[in-house]
Amino acid sequence: MAEVLEIQAFLSRAHQHPVIDVRSPLEFNKGHIPGAFNIPLLNDEVRVQVGTAYKKKGHHAAVKLAFELCGGDFYKMIKEAELICKGQDKTILVHCWRGGLRSNTMAWMLSLSGFRVYLLKGGYKVFRNWALAQFDKPKKVVILGGRTGSGKTDILKVLAERGEQVIDLEGVAHHKGSAFGSLGQPAQPSNEHFENQLALICNALDPERLVWVENESRQVGSNIVPAALFERMRAASTIQLNVSREDRMIRILEEYGKFPAEQLAEKTLLLSKRLGIQKANEAVSLLRDDNVPMWLEIVLDYYDKNYDYGMSQRSGASVFLVPAPNGNAEENATLVLDFIKVNGNEIVKKF
């Protein structure tokens, strides 16, 4: 028999044992518990048929149809579960949408096949409620700011390597937050899955320790930062690194100069409304003439003005300027940590 677990106990065991999500692929792709594997009891088409049978003919008719349509796949599902467990400890965690028929059927089948099965009480629906609640928890947030090209993302990575708590919004979103932010990045997650991943990060945070977050707008590509988390970011103090324009241009050219001119031109034209048609066309012409540095001069003027305007809207939040002698991420991580040691009580706000 499978043991039913509350959400926190289920997630704790997920650190040691695989999670099997038995919902349909469409449901899974919309959002799932990060790290879970999808072994759908019913594929998308069958799920619709069974759901229709349930509405028209009731529970028993739906169950019979489900066994008729997918019963022959049980052996394949068992083999998939065995591969996921890698032939070692056959302990597995299972859930569906609400902890009902689909997860119980999978649990019954796997239990008969020698697995030790744990079920999530209330299913994925309970996980989603838990996930959204994580953004309301108090956090000691401090924002790492700086104009485009300051190397904030690289600094966050260094801070994480040094044991600091970090929420890397761009890393989770697979997007660097600008019109060019999708270049070289994997496809973005659905917004629901973006929230799910952030929720696990937030849950692991020590509320008594500092949490570093990069200065971002609420929308990172197509993903939207949860409202409660974004409110904390807007109210938090900002440590703003002042990196020279020259150093910032060097970093941007290293990062984006490798992309084909046509890709950069396509992204530049997305800024036409804000840059102005004339400036946008001038920038594109420079790209096509292989004059990437002058293209960057035009684009960077826009991003600097945009950043400065955004900072001017941070009413009530303190901004602390930290001069940076160069764009070296290791050295600048040390700078901000040293600044925090001296000025921490004034900077950190707990909500």
Q: Which is catalytic among the residues 70, 85, 96, 202?
A: 96
Nearest C-alpha neighbor of 198 from the set 223, 235, 231, 164: 223
Q: Residue written as tokens 């108090």? A: 138
314 and 215 in contact (C-beta within 8 Å)? no
Half-sphere exposure of 220 (CA within 13 A, CB side): 25
DSSP state for residue 114 in the 8-state scheme: T
Distance, CA of 332 to CA of 158 (rounded, Å): 9
Distance, CA of 10 to CA of 343 (rounded, Å): 40
Half-sphere exposure of 315 (CA within 13 A, CB side): 1
249 and 203 in contact (C-beta within 8 Å)? no
DSSP state for residue 279 in the 8-state scheme: H
Distance, CA of 199 to CA of 225 (rounded, Å): 11
Residue 202 among the catalytic residues: no
Distance, CA of 120 to CA of 115 (rounded, Å): 16
What contacts 34, CB < 8 A, 6 or more positions away?
A: 193, 196, 197, 200
Q: Give residue 197's region: left, alpha or beta (phi > 0; psi -120 to 50).
A: alpha
The catalytic residue positions are 96
